[in-house]
Copies of this chain bind each other. A is one copy, B any other.
Amino acid sequence: MIRVQREDFDVGAEIARIKARRSDIGAIVTFTGTVRDRDGAVAAMTLEHYPGMTEAELARVEAEACARFALQASLIVHRYGTLEPGDNIVLVATASEHREAAFEAARFLMDYLKTRAPFWKREDGPSGARWVEAEARDEAATARWSKEPAAKQP
């Protein structure tokens, strides 16, 4: 499932929703990305996105993860709008029978959405606003997956 929203999310509630009315899950991994204040340099961060394409791209990334890994459930929640240091930005959750698939899929989802989902961060600090630049290592992290076999893991 994917959600693009202005509102905050509650990791505990999302896990409870994934686990509800089933007992075949053995492992749940969550990744929470938050606004990081670098020594007071960030007063606020505004996330712009491309409505329509964002949802489509996140759905494609999630479908790719479900094809690659033996997942029982997956969730991507991404916020947009103006956030403050410490605020949540993104949540990825994966559930599987075994921990390997849950860990790998969560990392895959994060690596892919970092380079595919159409969001742009603008930091507002004491010295003005600046658009955050993409990092080469995020591209490298995504590229790593195309070298690995796409076989389903147990």
Residues of chain A having any CB pair with chain B under 8 Å: 10-13, 15, 19, 22-38, 84-86, 97, 99-100, 102-103, 106-107, 110, 141
Q: Is there an interface contact between B110 and A19, defined as CB atoms closer than 8 Å?
A: no
Q: How far is the CB of A85 from chain B (nearest CB, A)?
A: 4
Which secondary structure dominates where chain A touches chain B? mixed
Q: In this complex, what residue of B is CB-closest to A42? A: B23
Contacts of A12 in B (CB 8 A): 10-13, 15
Residues of B within 8 A of A141 (CB): 100
Question: In the bound complex, what is the Cα–Cα distance between A35 and B34 (angstroms)?
Answer: 30
Chain B, residue nearest A14 (CB)? B12
Shortest A87–chain B CB gap in Å is 9
- In the complex, chain B residues whose CB is within 8 Å of the CB of A30: 11, 28-30, 32
Asked whether A33 lies within 8 Å of B27 as measured between CB atoms, the reply is yes
Residues of B within 8 A of A34 (CB): 19, 23, 25-28
Of the candidates B11, B25, B27, B100, which one forms a contact with A11 in the assembled complex, judged by CB atoms under 8 Å apart?
B11
Contacts of A38 in B (CB 8 A): 24
A67 → B minimal CB distance (Å): 21
